Each structure stands twice: as C-alpha cells, then as structure tokens.
A and B are shown apart, each in its own frame.
Chain A
Amino acid sequence: MLLEFDQVAIHLGGREILSPTSFGVRAGEFVCVIGPSGCGKTTLLRAASGFMPPTHGQVRRHGRPVQQPSREVAFVFQDYGRALLPWRTVASNVSLALEAARVPPAERPARIDRVLATVGLTAHAGKFPAQLSGGMQQRVQIARCLAQEPELLMMDEPFGALDAMTREGLQDELARLQREQGLTVMFVTHDLEEALYLGDRVIALRAHPAPGRPSLAAMVEVPLPRPRDQLATKESPEFLRLRRELYRFLGHD
C-alpha cells in the first residue's frame, strides 16, 4: 500500500467538511475521486500532498505520516496559469523542478528534452506560457511534475478549465503516460465520465456528512479493459452500468 488514509477528517470554518475516511492507494493504481462541490475532495488531495494537515487522522506514505510536501509527490494544480512562472520559457519552467532537486546542470537539458517529448511540447520549448493555449499550459505543468520523477501524481481537476476536445486528448495522453511510466495517480474531478474513463478505482464522496451518512459514499473498482477508447469504452455496457451506479452520488441523493 503506497498511500494510506487512516480516519482522515477535515474541519474548516468550524464545520466538518470530511468525516473520518479510510482507504488505501496501491502502487501503480489510478484512483479517481469524484463528488459535488464542497465534499472535500480537493482538501483531501491537498492533505495527502502535505500542504495542510488533516484535522483528525493521518495520511501515511510508505507507512510514514505525511507532514509536508515532498518531491516524491507531484501536484498538478487546476489553475495552470498561476502555477507556471510567466517569465520563464517552457523548457525553463520544467528546469525549475530539476534546479530544485539540485540536478547537475550538465544533465538537465537531456532530461528536459525527454520530458517535453513525452508530453509532445518539444516544438514549443522556447515559448513563454502566455504564448500557449490552455491545454498546452497544462501539459507544461504536467511536464514539470514528471521532471520531478515522482512516485505519486496528485491532480486537482486538471482538465476542468479546458474545452471538451482538449480535455479528451489530454485524458488519453495521461492514460498513456501512466501506463508507460507506472505512475500512481490520484485524480480529483467532478466529471463522472472522466473518472470512470481514467480510473482503476473510483471513490465517490458526499457533501455535508452527517452521522449515518459518512463522506465516503462509495468505492468501486473499474475493471474496464485498457487501453481505453473515447468512443468504444464509453459505449460499453459495463461503463454505463458503473455510471448509473455512481450517478446518484453526485449531489443527487
């Protein structure tokens, strides 16, 4: 078990956002967390990444409590525009991760090129973020995260601000990446279809937990075959069944 959530509860503003929740994430797994606004999915992700401590309970990585951010855990923010350094080029933005990790300068260009090739941005290495579209900017952020060579990739609604076509393209790229590099991914989204399309397992959270109605509403395995296809997979009976099963947890119950 790579990541363990042990009775993790989060209180904000005097209210309980997340009731004590426990589950684990295995190495190499793609876990998606869905839920309506206010269910605490983003705060859960941030707590797991060490940006904030949970109010109760503990998140453990390799058995050790997570107390602060680590290079092993890469975080992809939803507002990609704010997460990139506007005064640095694409290549230079990726280089930031290597500089922080004190990678020798001689090694950096090769690693940057490799990572940019993985996300398909080799041609734009010299451009500034402001010259790129939203989808490309998000890919730059992903590239920088990959440059960290993390074992865990945390993604907070990374494709939420993009148009549908770009989103689908990036979903497929992400799936391919995860397969090729054997990454463990925890992916937060409010889009049920996206969660089912990408994940090996989908965790559904409820908003406004109450006694008898814990935050963790459902946890289902997604045994759909890989590699997945935007058309075929989404038409498969299994997909539709899972979708129906989880639909009501998105603020419909």
Chain B
Amino acid sequence: MKGRRMQGPSRRPALSARGAAPSDLLASVAMLAGLVALWWAASHGEWVSRVFLPTPELTLGSLRHGLGLGAAGEGAGDLAGYSLATLGRMVAGWVLAAVLGIGLGAAIGASASLRAWLGPTLEFIRPLPASAVIPLAISVFGLSSGMVLAVVAFGAMWPVLLATVQGLASVHPRLREVGAALQLSRLGFIVKIGLPAALPDILAGMRLALTVSLIVSVVGEMIASQPGLGQAILLAARAFRASDLFAGIALLGAIGFASNAALALAERRLLGWQRP
C-alpha cells in the first residue's frame, strides 16, 4: 500500500550533501533566494489573485502568529499544536508500521513456502492507495483519532513488509549455506544473517513508509476532522485565509523535509559498512 512511492537511486537531503563546493552552495542559496524573490514579485504584482497567492511577508506573519512567535499581545495560534499532532500521528503510525512490517515480513520472508503462498496476494496489495481503506476504517471504527492512527499504521506497514520479504528472499544462497554449515537456528539465521543482509531494502521500505504515513495522516485529518495540520489547511482554504493556508503548507513541507533528513542520517550510520 502506498500514498506515494519513491524508489530508485537513494537521495540525500541538502543538509548532508557531500563534496558541495562553496561556489555551489552559494549558487544554491542564490537560486532559492531568486525563487523567493519571484514569489514576492508575483504576489505583490498580483500576477495571480491575492486570494490564491499571499505575499511572503503575510505568510511569514501567519507562521509566526500561528506558532506563538508573534508580537506580544497578539495571542498564539494553534499551528504549533496542530504540527505536533500531525507529527505525532505520523511518527507513532510509522513506528507501529515498522515493528509490524518487519516482524510479519521476517516471518513470511524467512520461509520459502510462505513466500510462495502469500507472495501474489502481497503483490496485489502493493499498488493500492493507502488512503483507500479510510472509508472502510470509518465504517468499522468511526471517526476518531485512533482510527486515523490505525489507518496510518496499516498503510505504512506494507512498504516495510514487502521490503522485508523482498530483502530476506534475496539473501545470497551462500549465506544460507554458511548458516546451515554453522548449524544456526532458524531464528538465529533471521536475526544474525537475514535481517542484517536485508537492512538496505528494509530501510528503503521505511523511507517509503515515512512518506505514506505523512500523507495518510494528513488525509485522515482532513476526512475525519481530527485536529492537525491537515484539518487546519482545509479550514483555512474554505475560509479563504490564503496566508494561513500557505503557512500550514510550509509546515507540512518542513515536517516532510526534517523526517526524511533524520531517516537519511540514520541510514548512513546503519549502513556505514558499505563505505568503509
């Protein structure tokens, strides 16, 4: 199941870009500044209606006010709380998904017969949008925060599960023979050889699961009217509060960016042996 699938060469966020020459860094910052300037010009010049495109200053103002960093006497908005709610939901769902996905994936992936029996069923589930079970979950569990969390965990579990099964299936036969020759128990093989060998695949699956959990958290908040950034930006759009909308979007972008960066860092550390 996925909300969005990102495969292909592994990408590292800007923070850990290696070998960035000072001139490149300067050029990067310059381009970013240029885009912001473009935004400023577009919003002030009303190339697009103010209703749709607020000015950068207004957006920044909404952000500061929403996060409680505004001028004294303004009163704090709820953006900080909403951000934490969305972040919390995303992380909790992701952790749950990781535990379930790796656990079930290890159980299935370690057994060739289970793989053969369940493989096609799992492949059928792979292209399903994770958010598609939300209506079903609403029927079964009703509109609640727990329901959203359950759907997040369920949706994010599949990339991890599939990646774990895949990773264990591709353990080189030589390593299996080494395990057999050393008379390693089945569990011992999974823990000492199988899962470590599958770790690159598993981490890729967990990266994907992170994107899914953010998306499903946001969609869940929108549909089930749970407090969070998803609901906040929906309400802002309905009330034509463009700067609040943009502030919320910016925060969601920041959450996406930060969580990916954190995971990339962890991945670097865990797979350090690949680049001795």
**Direct touching of A and B (C-beta under 8 Å):** yes
Tell me which residues across on chain B come within 8 A of A96, comparing CB atoms: 182, 192
Tell me which residues across on chain B come within 8 A of A133, comparing CB atoms: none
> Which residues, 167 to 189 on B, are CB-close (under 8 Å) to A?
172, 174-175, 177-185, 188
Q: At the interface, yes or no: B276 with Cβ under 8 Å from chain A?
A: yes
User: A96-B192, A128-B273, A131-B276 given as contacts; is B182 within 8 A of A71 (CB)?
Assistant: yes
Nearest-neighbor residue (CB-CB) of A49 within chain B: B181
Nearest CB of B to A70, in Å: 7
User: A82-B172, A85-B175 given as contacts; is B188 within 8 A of A99 (CB)?
Assistant: yes
| A51 vs B173: C-alpha distance when bound (angstroms) | 11
Nearest CB of A to B156, in Å: 25
| A99 vs B174: C-alpha distance when bound (angstroms) | 19
Cross-chain contact B183 with A77 (CB below 8 angstroms): no
Cross-chain contact A70 with B183 (CB below 8 angstroms): yes
User: A85-B193, A96-B192, A130-B273 given as contacts; is B183 within 8 A of A69 (CB)?
Assistant: yes
Cross-chain contact B276 with A83 (CB below 8 angstroms): no
Q: At the interface, yes or no: B68 with Cβ under 8 Å from chain A?
A: no
Cross-chain contact B183 with A51 (CB below 8 angstroms): no
Q: At the interface, yes or no: B196 with Cβ under 8 Å from chain A?
A: yes
Pick the most buried of B182, B183, B276: most chain A CB atoms within 10 A of its CB.
Answer: B182
Nearest CB of B to A147, in Å: 9
Q: At the interface, yes or no: B199 with Cβ under 8 Å from chain A?
A: yes
> Which residues, 222 to 276 on B, are CB-close (under 8 Å) to A?
273-274, 276
Tell me which residues across on chain A come within 8 A of B174, comparing CB atoms: 77, 79, 82-83
Q: At the interface, yes or no: A148 with Cβ under 8 Å from chain B?
A: yes
Tell me which residues across on chain B come within 8 A of A99, comparing CB atoms: 188, 192
Nearest-neighbor residue (CB-CB) of B184 within chain A: A100
Tell me which residues across on chain A come within 8 A of B179, comparing CB atoms: 100
| A70 vs B188: C-alpha distance when bound (angstroms) | 16
Cross-chain contact A75 with B181 (CB below 8 angstroms): yes
Pick the most buried of A77, A99, A100: most chain B CB atoms within 10 A of its CB.
Answer: A100
Cβ-neighbour of A51 out of B177, B185, B193, B276 (below 8 A): B177
User: A130-B276, A131-B276 given as contacts; is B182 within 8 A of A85 (CB)?
Assistant: no
Interface size bracket, B side? 20 to 34
> Which residues, 26 to 48 on A, are CB-close (under 8 Å) to B?
none
Main secondary structure of the interface of A (DSSP, over half): loop
| A186 vs B235: C-alpha distance when bound (angstroms) | 76
| A100 vs B174: C-alpha distance when bound (angstroms) | 17
Cross-chain contact A51 with B180 (CB below 8 angstroms): yes
| A75 vs B78: C-alpha distance when bound (angstroms) | 65
Tell me which residues across on chain A come within 8 A of B274, comparing CB atoms: 86, 130
| A128 vs B188: C-alpha distance when bound (angstroms) | 21
Mark A64-105 against chain B: 1 for CB-CB distance below 8 A, else 0. Answer: 000011110111010100110111100000001101110000
Nearest CB of A to B33, in Å: 42
Tell me which residues across on chain B come within 8 A of A49, comparing CB atoms: 181
Tell me which residues across on chain B come within 8 A of A87, comparing CB atoms: 196-197, 199, 273
Nearest CB of A to B121, in Å: 31
Cross-chain contact A74 with B181 (CB below 8 angstroms): yes
User: A83-B174, A85-B193, A130-B276 given as contacts; is B182 within 8 A of A148 (CB)?
Assistant: yes
Tell me which residues across on chain B come within 8 A of A97, comparing CB atoms: 182
Tell me which residues across on chain B come within 8 A of A100, comparing CB atoms: 179, 182-185, 188
Cross-chain contact B183 with A71 (CB below 8 angstroms): yes
Tell me which residues across on chain B come within 8 A of A148, comparing CB atoms: 182
Nearest CB of A to B112, in Å: 16
Cross-chain contact A83 with B178 (CB below 8 angstroms): yes
Cross-chain contact A77 with B192 (CB below 8 angstroms): no
8 contacts between A and B (CB under 8 A): A77-B174, A79-B174, A85-B196, A99-B188, A100-B183, A101-B183, A128-B273, A130-B276
User: Told that A71-B182, A130-B273 touch, could you supply 7 new A-B pairs with CB distance under 8 A?
Assistant: A49-B181, A51-B177, A71-B181, A83-B178, A85-B175, A87-B273, A88-B273
Q: Which residues of B contact A (CB under 8 A)?
A: 172, 174-175, 177-185, 188, 192-193, 196-197, 199, 273-274, 276
Q: Which residues of A contact B (CB under 8 A)?
A: 49, 51, 68-71, 73-75, 77, 79, 82-83, 85-88, 96-97, 99-101, 127-128, 130-131, 148
